[in-house]
Amino acid sequence: MNHPKLIVIGILFVAAVILAGCVNPPVDDGTVHKHADFALFIDGQQFNFAQEKYMTDLNGNALSTLVHLHDLNGDVIHVHAPGITLGMFFESLGMKLETKTDPESKLQQYCFTDDQGNLYCGPRLGCYSISSNPLNVGEVCTSAPAPATPILEVYVNGTKLSEKPEDYVIQDLDQILISYHAYTGDISNQLAAVTDKACIQSGKCPERGEPAPEDSCGGTECGTGTIPTA
């Protein structure tokens, strides 16, 4: 005889699978053009995104049509579709921003991997929900780590994200900082280093100038620089 609870669980599982398969990926429909300022710091050094290899231009170098950088400007993200996340942006550059879970402790880490394969992880701080299946949901809370413990944090408009950073949907005129630093490190200078150029590209502050043409460097004088690995 069929057990009613098992039947209900089976129906919910099938429904979840069907719904997951019906989620449409972001599509450039020509109605979205948002811009966000951002900066990434590793151990106090700012990563240089103003390199030709990270640019999308009009000459066949299209890393992503949905989210990209232009014109050797490594400070402003261009978004051309709804629902674009920070995780999608870094993935388009051959990088990864993700939340990892230790299978035994269930504790989570925020991690960033650059395009050279260098991995930077730090514990997710605070309280958050954990679940391994729909019937096993709980919450864990992490205590303050030792002062020198490396952590990875994401700030949006000066406020630290408490959600998984890879799931954050980029909004127009956002100012985003991704920082890998010691737990007690002062990052006020990093927050101040995030530019406010997005409003120019979005046409929201015409008094500061016209948006730059979205071309690219054309292969002439392109920047260099990588995250230090020492």
R_g of the chain computed on alpha carbons: 20
77 membership: H or E segment, kind and range: strand 76-79
Single-letter residue type at 64: S
- Domain residue limits, the chain: 29-208
**What local confidence, expressed as pLDDT, does residue 133 receive?**
58
Residue position matching structure tokens 């972001």? 26
Whole-structure pTM value: 0.81
DSSP per position, 115-166: TT--EEEEEPPEEEEEEEETTEEEEEEEPP--TT-EEEEEEETTEE--S-GG
- The Cα 197–Cα 199 span in angstroms is 6
User: How many Å apart are CA 115 and CA 61, to the nearest integer?
Assistant: 17
Reduced to 3 states, what is the DSSP secondary structure of residue 63? coil
Domain 29-208 has CATH 2.170.130.30: yes
Residues forming a β-bridge with 40: 178
pLDDT < 50: residue spans in the chain: 2, 4-23, 216-230
Residue 161: phi and psi, rounded to 5, are -70, 140
